A and B are shown apart, each in its own frame.
Chain A
Amino acid sequence: MTQTLDTAVLEARDVAVHFGGIKAVDGISLQLTEGKIYGVLGPNGSGKSTLLAAITRLVPLTRGELLFDGTEFQRTSAADVARHGVARTFQTVRLLHDLTVLENIQLGADLHAADAVWRRVLGETKPAAAVIEAIERTNLRGYEKLRPGELSYGTQRRVEIARAIAMQPRLLLLDEPTAGMNHTERQEISHLMKQLRSDGLTQLLVEHDVQMMLDTCDYIFAMNFGLLIAEGAPADVVRTPAVQDAYLGKKWRQNA
């Protein structure tokens, strides 16, 4: 009945996740509009990862509502959230070590495999177009036959991102995707995210690297103690005194 003015891919209303007495997320409301890169900034333990877990339904909500394209999904399963078009990466690398890089990425595209029974059983012999595209975009050509154990940490992270992209999501959640990467690799990820944005993919980035946030995001949410303490354009948010006190420290206050 009440239509939002712009198309919100994801809307969270007063989302809270409590673990016993610990209020990891304590009433967050946010709207993500199509084709933008959003960032979540905050110190360790501020509830950023729990927020992502809540959105992907990996933890139960204590209260609040989640809407994806206007449809409620706070009661759907994690698998159904993924089927709705929400893909994510994790804070720690979670690749399957028995599978090759190619197979790990194929696991993402498996979400959309054809329904024909023979295909389900046999599995496609040639990788799907989405897999090849994900490999190209993350610069993983030549790594296909290797296994995660043979890769550097930064490359493993790229495989994770490739796997999420291969799911062809409408919303991509990235939990510290550049942790353990060097400067060049970080820039590559930032570049990749902007490319994906130009294709219309909505993204939510959780990151510690403030510079990367400033370079990449269109809009930033700052969290502390499970609450939003500021939101807005990146440059404005990092100037907010509350954010500087909670997270950024002296250097940023002087620059501001």
Chain B
Amino acid sequence: MSAWYDSHLVLIQSTFVGLLLALSIQFPLRMGVFSFAGVGSYGIGAYTAAIVISRYDTPALPAIALGAVVAAVIGWLLSFLLARLGGLYLGMATIAFDLIITVAATNGGDLTGGPTGLFGIIADFSMSELVVFTVVALVLLALTERGRIGRRIGAVRDDPELAASMGIKVRRYRQSAFVVSGILGGCAGAINTILRTTIGPTDIGFSLVVLALTMIIVGGARSWLGALIGAVFFTWLPTVLTVVGDWQHLVYGTIVALAAIWVPGGVLGLATTQYRKLEQRKRIRDLEATARAEPKPATDAEELAVLEELVQSTPGGDAT
């Protein structure tokens, strides 16, 4: 265990950081906000932590918190600027935001260390702290997928106009997506800086947008569990793929493309669909059984109506 753990420590840490980054892209997507600003937030968090630790010897947790707050505030301001944009245009604008952060880091002079970045950023941050941190984030996000908030987020994503006519302040929800994304991205960036003790403009580039998106697309865009599946898969895949040597990137790309075509809801989406199909079949069987067993006139009519609807809506042959 211990030997394996030591030799894979970097990958384990990367999984957690990758998960937080993926969540920062996923949260806005769950509200139908195509924002990739989480990667910019990652850069902001990374540099904020690097600067305060290297200059003022700030401990890890305050440095991470500060990175998250700065990224959240900038995300909040960004939400006003981009309030009127949607879909592809919002996606493009937020990618531009990410690139601006990279450019700012490259040209930041002494503050950001320019193209070479900053080195020797030493602060204590243990594995258990990383785990607690991530679990807390996951629990909070999982709560937003349930009950009242879960339903309302779904309404904001699937039909904003309907959501508004249900009394939901759609704009406020969308703005909160930028803030939450900023917090998550900022944390991920700050933690990564502390774990690697170094940060440079190439660490916060466009490739992170691709990485976070592939994690969510293959894992599942609707739930934290999907992001977790994706983060584990794509952090560990390259080590598995070392077997195929030079073909690694080709295999990687093929997996992403096939997943996008055949499993648009991701691994988690596929599982959910299958589970619902099973549920539906079980309901039909139950209803048929009760209909045969005890023909009570009053409730029977109701049950038969339900049964009829189910049979009608199920593609032929599937029902039996």
CA distance A119 to B314 in the complex (A): 37
For A79-95 the 0/1 string (1 means CB < 8 A from B) is 11111000110100010
**B83 proximal to A (CB < 8 A):** no
- Measured between beta carbons, the chain A residues less than 8 angstroms from B257 are none
Minimum CB–CB distance from B307 to chain A (whole Å) comes to 10
By the criterion of a CB under 8 Å from any partner CB, how many residues of chain B are at the interface?
36
**A246 proximal to B (CB < 8 A):** no
Measured as residues with beta carbon below 8 angstroms from the partner, the interface class of chain A is 35 or more
- By the criterion CB–CB under 8 Å, are B166 and A167 in contact? yes
- By the criterion CB–CB under 8 Å, are A79 and B170 in contact? yes
- Measured between beta carbons, the chain A residues less than 8 angstroms from B276 are 147
**B274 proximal to A (CB < 8 A):** no
- By the criterion CB–CB under 8 Å, are B166 and A111 in contact? yes
- Measured between beta carbons, the chain A residues less than 8 angstroms from B164 are 58, 77-79, 82
For B274-290 the 0/1 string (1 means CB < 8 A from A) is 00100110010000000
- By the criterion CB–CB under 8 Å, are A150 and B309 in contact? yes
Asked if A108 meets B280 with Cβ closer than 8 Å, knowing A96-B158, A99-B151, the reply is: no
- Measured between beta carbons, the chain A residues less than 8 angstroms from B303 are 142
CA distance A3 to B167 in the complex (A): 29
- By the criterion CB–CB under 8 Å, are A56 and B280 in contact? no
**B169 proximal to A (CB < 8 A):** yes
Partner of A79, one of B143, B147, B169: B169
- By the criterion CB–CB under 8 Å, are A79 and B167 in contact? yes
Near A by CB (< 8 A), chain B positions 253-307 give 276, 279-280, 283, 302-303, 305-306
- Measured between beta carbons, the chain A residues less than 8 angstroms from B309 are 143, 146, 150-152, 155
Partner of A110, one of B148, B161, B170: B148
CA distance A88 to B165 in the complex (A): 7
CA distance A150 to B305 in the complex (A): 12
Interface window among A121-129, A223-231, A235-243, A248-256: A121-129
CA distance A147 to B314 in the complex (A): 12
**B312 proximal to A (CB < 8 A):** yes
- By the criterion CB–CB under 8 Å, are B158 and A111 in contact? no
CA distance A110 to B152 in the complex (A): 8
- By the criterion CB–CB under 8 Å, are B306 and A94 in contact? no
- By the criterion CB–CB under 8 Å, are B143 and A122 in contact? yes
- What DSSP secondary structure best describes chain B's contact surface? helix
**A75 proximal to B (CB < 8 A):** no
- Measured between beta carbons, the chain B residues less than 8 angstroms from A146 are 283, 306, 309-310
- Measured between beta carbons, the chain B residues less than 8 angstroms from A98 are 154, 158, 222
- By the criterion CB–CB under 8 Å, are A141 and B302 in contact? yes
**B229 proximal to A (CB < 8 A):** no
- By the criterion CB–CB under 8 Å, are B150 and A123 in contact? yes
CA distance A108 to B152 in the complex (A): 10
CA distance A80 to B149 in the complex (A): 18
- By the criterion CB–CB under 8 Å, are A107 and B152 in contact? yes
**A63 proximal to B (CB < 8 A):** no
- By the criterion CB–CB under 8 Å, are B154 and A83 in contact? no
**A13 proximal to B (CB < 8 A):** no
Asked if A123 meets B146 with Cβ closer than 8 Å, knowing A77-B164, A98-B158, A147-B276, the reply is: yes
- Measured between beta carbons, the chain A residues less than 8 angstroms from B154 are 96, 98-99
For A148-166 the 0/1 string (1 means CB < 8 A from B) is 0111100100000001000
Minimum CB–CB distance from A171 to chain B (whole Å) comes to 12
Asked if A78 meets B165 with Cβ closer than 8 Å, knowing A110-B148, A150-B309, A150-B313, the reply is: yes
CA distance A155 to B158 in the complex (A): 20
- By the criterion CB–CB under 8 Å, are A145 and B283 in contact? yes
CA distance A107 to B166 in the complex (A): 8
- By the criterion CB–CB under 8 Å, are A122 and B147 in contact? yes
Partner of B147, one of A56, A58, A82, A123: A123
Closest 8 CB pairs of A and B: A123-B147, A82-B167, A78-B164, A123-B148, A111-B167, A150-B313, A79-B169, A83-B167
CB<8 Å pairs between A and B, sample of 25: A58-B161, A79-B165, A79-B169, A88-B165, A94-B159, A96-B155, A96-B159, A96-B162, A98-B158, A103-B151, A106-B151, A108-B166, A110-B151, A111-B166, A111-B167, A113-B148, A122-B143, A124-B148, A142-B305, A143-B306, A145-B279, A146-B310, A150-B280, A151-B313, A152-B313
What 19 additional pairs, Cβ within 8 angstroms, besides A110-B151, A151-B309? A58-B161, A58-B164, A58-B165, A77-B169, A78-B164, A80-B167, A82-B164, A87-B165, A98-B158, A103-B151, A107-B152, A113-B148, A121-B149, A122-B146, A124-B148, A141-B302, A147-B276, A152-B313, A155-B309
